[in-house]
Structure 1
Amino acid sequence: MNNENSTIRSLNELKTLFDSGAITAEEYDALKKRIIFGNSTPESPATEPVAPVVSSSPQSVNPIETKVIYPTRPETPEPPVATPPVVEQNTYDEEGESPMGVKPVPKKDWLLISLAVLGALLLLGLLAYQFFNKPQSERLTSKSGPDTEEVIPADVTQEDSPVDSTATFTDRADRIPVAGADSTATTPTASAPESANEVVTTPAEASNTAPTGLLTDKDEVIRKAQEQLNAYYNDMQSAPFEAANYFAPQVERYYTLTNTTPAAINENINTYHFPEFLNGQSSIQEGSMAVVSIGNNSYELTYLENGSAFRKSKNQKQETKAAVRVRFNPDFKITYFRQEQLLENRFITE
């Protein structure tokens, strides 16, 4: 019995070797015969029972061979083939594809669209504000001194000027009307109306003097005004300057200074004007002064001012012509002084 079991085990091992390809079919047959016939020869070479052993061994081997094949089936790589549908299903869920494999239309990001529209509206609003809210520029005025920097006039016209050996730059503007119908010399546009900011009376200008105490003779008013302004221009040629000799205790406006005093005007002129404007000279153009109004304890006049000075910062000589508006109190002290328009502004390189 033990010999028979050993033969069966040997046959099983031989079959395993043959199935694995370790031996060929000829070797398998030869070894099979050697196992079967080699173990049974010592007992009786001529006995007949050997045939049943030969016939019984293949019958017992066949069921064993079937049992050996079954365990190898789970090791085949066929089960992973079923995984691709799972991968496709996951891909469809992640990317949001439709069952037909077509991607749906992406949803709009309304927050991003709203921010873009809001930014465009803000930009348009800023541009509109800059376009429609342009502040009126202070022409011919300087924040630091009575003489002005270069200003580009609104309208430029060509005028004949004598040829100068030096290099010049001229920037001219149309003349504004010199207010007052009784002016001794008016410009070609003297019939134009006055601007809206003509007469502004402040409490500082009011006094107890009755309007009947004012001069009514315009020639006399012009004479006194010219006398006071000529003294003012002469004193402006060199330091020191004393504003109290020409200005009232309270001055409504002096160039760009508003609601100022003679002390503030002194500081402005001595700290800025004299160091910057060298050899400065200003004068009233002859025949240009005119009386605008007499009343409210003040005299209001307009005239053309011719000025020249050497600009230290530019290293050039500057020549200007400006339309000036001035008001005096009953004592002919200045309460208002402003260059309303720059008619000529020329820089000459010497």
Structure 2
Amino acid sequence: MVRLPEATLPLWQAWPRALLSRLVASLGTGLILITFSEFVFLNEGPVIHLLARLEDGPLATARYLPEFGLVYAWFAYIFLVVARGLNAAGWSGLILSGAIAAWAIEALIIPLAYEGPPISFFWPSIGWHAMVNVILGWVLLRWMMRRWPVWRQGAVFAALGVAWAVWAKLFWAEDPAMVLPEPDGFTAFTAVIGLTWLVGMVLADHPIARFRPTTCDGLVALFTALPMGIAMGLPFGVWGLALGGLATLTLWALWRGRGGMSFEERHLSAAPPKASYLAALAMPATAALCFAFLPAEMDQGLSFLITIPLLAIGTLLWAAAVIRLGLRIGLQRAE
């Protein structure tokens, strides 16, 4: 069992602080994940609901996002217990930890992972959630905010804002359930999501969010996720077993590759400069500006230019990580 920093405190101080640490870390990471998972991706249900709440006023919006964010805080808690508890050190550990988060998002409370197996095991789970939510949103951008000058950060965030607006036009054009808002509506949408993302990063970067998982955390994550996963996968028979097998294989590879200092401890332990948070707002601002100048109607059938490469890269990286951690490291230890 990993000893918590709070273990040196009296019991009456340690437990409240430990609980607060987990809540802050999970909520902060959850808000980062939900930003890219639902609103940069532009999942039609949450987007339509948020646009409706924006029309109803700020109070309706303020109620909707925290409720939805708590669900993602649970996903984030599972992800953090896996990534921190098994010391996800390099790209292999991060990809595999991201895969666990991705399958939690798509297979614990919704059955999207079973819509078209085996492809749906990897898209959007690995291709988007692991690659974009975790690797881009939780790892690379936060690493950049600690290493690069602010002007370069602003340029990267602005480029991502352009990509967000273009993706919105391409993706919504292909989905009959989606109705494009007017530029003013999209501006309000990106403003709210940008602030949500900013709050998430501030919380995730706070010193109190740096909890170290214990055996108890592992049991809580397991016994909250496993019954939900079984209940969701049971109606799909062999496909439910197949996804459970992939998750087990991923956890096994992470366990074989555990040890050492995690990537988060080495590169994300110190908070970034405050100016970096302001630079991050270039992403929603540029998305809103770009959206207003893009054509109202764009050609359909082009989103595959983004989805296919993400699916291929994510799947190959996942497979390579399983082999690298599960087989090569295992063989080295056996020797």
Larger Rg: 1
TM-score higher than 0.5: no
Point out the structure with the larger strand share: 1
Point out the structure with the larger helix share: 2
TM range (shorter): under 0.3
TM-score, structure 1 as length reference: 0.20
TM-score, structure 2 as length reference: 0.21
